[in-house]
Structure formats: structure tokens, C-alpha cells
Structure 1
Amino acid sequence: MSEPAPAALSKRELYTLFGALMLTMLLASLDQTIVGTALPTIVGDLNGMGDYTWVVTAYLIATTASTPLYGKLSDLYGRRPLILVAIAIFLTASALAGLSQTMLQLIIFRGLQGLGGGGLISLAFTVVSDVVSPRERGKYQGFFGAVFGISSVAGPVLGGWLSEVDWRWIFYINLPLGLAAMVAVDQVLRRHRFPTRPRRIDYLGAACLVPAVVCLLLAVTWGGNDYAWNSVVILGLFAAAAVLTAVFLYIETRAEEPILPLRMFKQGTFALAAVIALVFGVAMFSGIVYIPLFFQMVRGYSPTESGLLMIPMMAGMVLTSVSSGFVISRLGRYKWFLVAGSVVITSGLALFTQLHVDTPLWLSSLYLLVLGIGMGMFMQPLVLAMQNIVRVEDLGAGTSTSNFARSLGGAVGTAVLGAVMTAKLNGELAANLPAAVAELSPAEAAAFGGTDLSAVMESPTVVAHLPEPVRLVVQQAFTDGLDRVFLVAALIAAVTIVLTLFMPNLTLRGAAPARAGGDPDAAAAEIRAETAP
């Protein structure tokens, strides 16, 4: 298997392209976090409290389901047209979402946004892999990891601020940034030809894959919330997902150009990395989703303030993502960054099991820093491992598989950990709330009796104004529930330690000079051995 010569770009063109790709990634990753902070304002304006979760769910489902399609289509028809289409869909949907007059319109346009967002992240990684050799790719993709860290903090802060000005600008702000990225990507890629091979599109595979993903995500989203886990609806969705997946895999073994080339999974490194990405997605989203919940529900901070309190995690991600990228490019190997990153992530999640109602901010900030350091060390080397081993003609499909597995793991993990959280929270409230209510004065008890506990679970403001005995019980219940979530997440993250230890320590392909006494063809020889039948 030979590595093609990267497209000949001047330094100026490379930096222009790289900046535009970072901007497209920022659009997609920011849109996953910016809306959550503004949801109460949006729901109040559009009168749609009953459907508010679909504003987030529609985007998540569409993004996850469309990611594999972009990867394969870009292998067939080139990166430039596909990334331009993804940006165009995303910007059109952003404008329409900003103009929405009803919740139904907003949900539909958020789903359309997700169809564009599914291509932004995976295609950005893939385009970099076209113009930079694997050996040099680490230092560039390290900056992409920094983008994820920045968006995890900037999203809630920016969303909170814009919701106070005009929530519609949460979507309109995408337009100038996206247009600038589109022009830059088009101008640079227009002058350079990349390998394409027009073939027949695997329509049958797409017709099975997309509904299979949708059924699975609906099952884990609705399960335990809208429907019981053992209800006919949830069991039916899981069954439909399983049947559609089986049919999809059968189709892929016979398709001329399968959406997901199963030959990639015959390579041990790729298959193992895909499993690691799935497991990592489960653990990673516990940090992004549930840590702000502690700051808001237990400590009483606003969504904007809780976003700012996540800065230590962002700092750790930016620091190690960029620095590890440069070191990997210099050394030409990535395995031990994955192992070290998984150890640090597991340690960070384990530290969060020690959270208490009165945990000082400096200590929780330290925990966040540890978690961010681990995530920065881990995320980009995993993508490199998958890109380094696949065939050139499968580069788009291989890269999108990495993002798909991580997104799917995140969606499933959020649902599973949410169920863990809810079970512990309800148990603690049932055990301790009656005694706390008994301590209230008649006036306080009467006032509390009119409080809807479902509102307590969703509003930090309501928690802050509860009578003190009740408030302390609710805060402790949330703390205990979050401790259980982080314990489960840490155990899941520990699985990645074991899995990464089994990763072969392959050399990245590329034209970097060989070390003294080294074999300049070592990378090719190692990969030939790895992919040999």
C-alpha cells in the first residue's frame, strides 16, 4: 500500500486552507454546545416547552447519521464539492433556523443543520490528510483538537450572551464565518486536483444505514424519558435498528462501492481504533454534559458562568492537543500518547467522583484541567491511527468512521449515563426528601407543596429558591447522582486503557528523514505486515 504524494500547496495556501478548515470545524462543534444555553429563552419565545429537547436531538441524529455518507462520497467525487455542499447546507439551515416562527420549524431546520454539520468535521480531517503526510499530520490535527476544547467553553458563554441580546443571532452568526470558510476552501482546493473515482453510489446501503442510526438514537433518547425501556416503542426501535444494521452489513459485502468498506475492519489496528473511538465517546460526553450540571444545579451558577468555569478543561485540551501533535510528528509514532491519554482521562473522571456540595472551585478546576489534558492527548492520535492504516481510496470513509463511532458513542453514553443519574437522583430524593419537608414551617411546606419537582430537575433558579432543608437534600441528591455517573464513566474509560495497550506501535507514513540507524522504509514495512492477509 503506497502513500500518495500530498497535493503541492504553498505555505500560504496551506495555512489559508488550514484556517478555513478550522473555521468549518468550529462552526460544527460550536453548534453542538451554543444552543443548549439559550434553549429556555427560545422555548419561551416560541411557546414550545413540550418539544424543546428535539432542538438538540434533531441536530444530533442528523449529524451522526450523515457522517459516514460524506466520507464515502468524498472518496468517490472529491473533497471540494462535498465540503462546499456541507457548508452550504449548514449555512442555509442556519439562516432558516434564525427565521423560525414556531418550534416545529426550528426543529426541522436544526435537523437540516445537522445534515450539513455531519460533513464539516470529518471532511476537514480528510482534506488535511490529502495535503499533509501522516508523519506531519499530527501537528496540524492537534490544532483541530484545540478547536473542540474552545467550542466546549465558548458555546455556552456565547449562547448565554446572545440569548440576552437576540437568540436568533445564535444561528445568524454562522453566516459570515461560514461564507469566509467556503470562499477560502473553494479558492485553495479549486487549483489542486485530488484523486477521484466516479462509481455507482451505494443507495441501498444508505437506505439501510441512515434509518438504522436514527432508530438507535431515538431508542436511547426516548428510553427512560418519554417511554419505559421495556415499552413496545423502545424495544421496537432497538429491533428495527438491529435488523437494518444486519441488512446493511449484508449489502456492504456485495456493493461495488460500499459506504462502509468492510475490508477496513480486516485491519486489526483500524477495527481496534473504531472500538476505542466508540468507548471514548461514551466517557468523553460525561465530562462535557454532566460537569456543567454540577456547577448549575449544585453550586447555583448560571449557564454562562458554568461555561466560563470549564476554561481549565479547555486549557488542558488546547495545551496537550497542540503539543502532542508536534511531538508525534517528530517521533513518528502515536501509541503511547493514546495509552497515556486514556490513563489521564480515567484518572480525571475518577477524581470527579469526589465532588461534594462544598467542593472548592480551585479543586474542581484542577479536576477539569486533568480531564482536559487527557482528552487533548487522546483525540487526535486516534484519528491518525485510523488514517495511517487505511488504503488511500478509503481515506474519507476511514476518517468519517472515526467521527461516526465517537458521535454514536457519545449519543448512547449520554442516554445511558442519564439513566444512571436519574435512578440515583430519584432514589436519594425518595429517601431523604420527606424528612426535609417535615422540618418546614407550615407556610414553607404550603409553598413547597405547589412546586413541580420536574421543574426542580431542569432549573437551577428553582433549586436556589427552595427552602433550605429541601434545597440541601436536592443538592446532595444531585451530587450523589453525579458521583455515580462519573464512577460509571471512569470504569468505561478504563476499558480504553486496556484496548490502547493492544494497539500496535506502528510508524506513521511520511517522508520525514529516518533516525540515525533507522530504516527509512520502516513505516511501509510495518503497515504491510499489519495489513497482510
Structure 2
Amino acid sequence: MLRLHPLVTKENRLYPLHFFRQPILINMQVQVFLSSGIVLAMTYYVPLYFQFVKGDGALEAGVRLLPLIMFMVVASMFNGFLMPKYGLIPIWYIGGSTLALLGTALMYTVDENTSNANIYGYNILVGTGTGCYIVAGFAIVQSLVPARDIANAISAMAIAQDLGMVCFLAISGSLFHNIAVEKVGKALPEVASAEIGNLIAGSSSKAFRRLSEAEKALVIPEVASAMSSVWTFFLAAAALSVICSVPLLVSSP
């Protein structure tokens, strides 16, 4: 980068490229990218599922997130208390990502007939799993770089976290919209694609409320089925997180 932009000093580079000499630093950024993306995107699609499939209002659907959020926060607190004392960094990452993988795999099985209790349980697995390591990397990278690079390391982690949240929302939104429009379009062939796009925006949308009960009975299973693509995306991300956690067994600080 300095060769391409000779007027940019090493201290003012947009990204500290020398971090690539330490793969564990990149691993930490990938992990926070994946875990943050999964959690934030789930906070959008879990309430959307309850609104469409269970008929919840916006407030009630938001309350359904409590198992996910509470267990993530508790797991993060335990991680912050125990990891500095006992280390075991690979265990936190492998165990946490495995729980997230299990939870997202179970979310893939969710349909319009799945009980609320089961969904709460799946969310608890995802929340506990991601909570085990979602913020751990911020402390780890500080211990791996010289004091002059701590600010760069924290900034790189924050950028990775923000990118994860943005990318996951964008990708899952595209998946859900495209597949839902296709599936709902087959269930309601007389409805225009643009109208279907408005319809799947939420159960409180005017387009959805205009549907008859018979039409809603056709649409709801298709929306639940379209959400399977989102859960699959989260499942793939959790699987990648597990894979990235394994090298920590040999390169753990």
C-alpha cells in the first residue's frame, strides 16, 4: 500500500497490513464478524417470524428476543470474568461456536408448527454460544500486539464487527426477499411482485392486512419456508466459525 500511495505514512495507513503476519489477529476479526452478524440478524428475523407465523404484534414479537439476548449477555459476562483468570481461549471459541452451530441448525428445522418453547431453546443455544466469544477477541488482540498497535487492533476489531452486522443484514435480507417473493408469488399468482414485496415487509403492513384469512393461510407457510434460507445462512456462518476456531488449539496466545 505504501508503494501505491507513497505519501501515506505507516502510522496513517487505512488498515494495518502487518497484522496479516499474525494469522490469529485475522482469525479474531473473522470471528467477531461472524458472531456479531449472526446475533444482529437474528434480532431482526426472530421477531419477524413471530409476527408472521404466530400473529404477534411488534412489541410482543420483540419480547420474544429476551432468551437470545439475556443468555448472550450472561455468557459474555462469564467469559469476561473467567477467561482472564483461566485462559482456555480455544475452549471458549470452539465450545461457543459449536453451540451457535447447534442452535442455528435447529432453527433451520423451524416451520409454522414449531412451538414457541422450542424456538426459545434454539435461541438460547445461539445466544449462549455467541456470548462465549463475541467480545473476547477485543481483549485477546490487545495482548498480541505492541502497545503502539493497540489502538489499531481495537479499531480493526470494531470495523470487523460493524461489517459483520451490515453484511449479514444485507445478505439475509436479499435471501429472504427473493425467496419469499418467489414462494408467495406461487401461492398468490394474481398478486404483482411489487405488492408481494410490500406484503412480506411485516404482518402489520397494509398489504398483509388486506389479505383474507384464506390467503393468509396460504402465505404464512411460504414465509416460514422462505425464512429457512436465512437460518441456512446463519448455519453456514456458524459452521465457518467452528472451522476458524480449530486453529486456535495450536496458535492460542
TM over 0.5: yes
1:506 aligns with 2:249: no
For 1:255, the aligned partner's letter is T
Distance 1:325 1:392, change over 3 A: same
1:396 aligns with 2:141: no
* Distance (Å, rounded) in 2 between the aligned partners of 1:432 and 1:468: 14
1:424 aligns with 2:179: yes
Give the TM-score, by structure 1 length: 0.43
* Contact 2:41/2:169 (<8 A) preserved: yes
* Distance apart, 1:345 and its partner CA: 1.0
Q: 2:239 aligns with which of 485, 494, 510?
A: 494
1:456 aligns with 2:199: yes
Distance 1:252 1:501, change over 3 A: farther
* Contact 2:185/2:196 (<8 A) preserved: no
* Distance apart, 1:385 and its partner CA: 2.4
Give the TM-score, by structure 2 length: 0.87
* Contact 2:177/2:197 (<8 A) preserved: no
1:382 aligns with 137
1:288 aligns with 43
2:87 aligns with 332
> Unaligned regions of 5+ residues in structure 2, if any?
none
Could you say which structure has the greater relative contact order, defined with CA pairs below 8 angstroms and 6 or more residues apart? 2
1:478 aligns with 223
SS in 1 for 2:68: helix
* Contact 1:287/1:349 (<8 A) preserved: no
Larger Rg: 1
Distance 1:459 1:267, change over 3 A: closer
1:85-234 alignment, distance < 5 Å: none
* Distance (Å, rounded) in 2 between the aligned partners of 1:466 and 1:328: 53
* Contact 1:300/1:464 (<8 A) preserved: no
2:54 aligns with 299
* Contact 1:269/1:385 (<8 A) preserved: no
SS in 1 for 2:11: coil
Question: What is the root-mean-square deviation in Å for CA atoms of aligned residues?
Answer: 2.5
* Distance (Å, rounded) in 2 between the aligned partners of 1:270 and 1:251: 25
1:257 aligns with 2:3: no
Number of equivalences: 248
Distance 1:454 1:499, change over 3 A: closer
Distance 1:373 1:249, change over 3 A: farther
* Contact 1:286/1:417 (<8 A) preserved: yes
Q: 1:362 aligns with which of 87, 111, 117?
A: 117
* Contact 1:252/1:258 (<8 A) preserved: no
* Distance (Å, rounded) in 2 between the aligned partners of 1:313 and 1:249: 47
Q: 1:275 aligns with which of 22, 30, 52?
A: 30
SS in 1 for 2:9: coil
* Distance apart, 1:374 and its partner CA: 0.8
* Contact 1:348/1:368 (<8 A) preserved: yes
For 2:236, the aligned partner's letter is L
* Distance (Å, rounded) in 2 between the aligned partners of 1:248 and 1:297: 52
* Distance (Å, rounded) in 2 between the aligned partners of 1:457 and 1:347: 28
* Distance (Å, rounded) in 2 between the aligned partners of 1:387 and 1:380: 12
> Unaligned regions of 5+ residues in structure 1, if any?
1-246, 438-447, 508-533
